Amino acid sequence: MGTPSDHAPLAERVEELLAGGGPLPIVAAGDPVLRRGTEPYDGQLGPALLARFVEALRITMRAAPGWALRRRRSVWS
């Protein structure tokens, strides 16, 4: 899986992720990227790009194994 450059602006990294089409790559537990710090979000994505990114996240969540189970739990909790 190609990962977007760590030094590119956030909008470029999101565009690169979305260019692949389909569900976004899911990082497995234990991957070193999960130990990196985060960067603050302060409106770096325009409204259209943010909407596309959120939709891609939804598609990825639904395509992930176990999605229906997680959804059922959230309805009952």
Give residue-wise pLDDT tens across range 57-71.
Answer: 999 988 888 765 555
How large is the angle between the packed helices 67-76 and 47-63, nearest 10 degrees? Answer: 100
Q: The tokens of 44 are what?
A: 């770096």
Res 24: pLDDT: 93
Exposure b/e, 9-42, CB count within 10 A at least 16 = b: ebeebbbebeeeeeebeeeeeeeeeeeeeeeeee
Q: Return mean pLDDT, the chain.
A: 83
Look at the pTM and tell me if it is higher than 0.85.
no
Res 77: pLDDT: 47
Which parts of the chain sit beneath pLDDT 50?
1-2, 76-77
Nearest-Å Rg of the Cα atoms of the chain is: 14
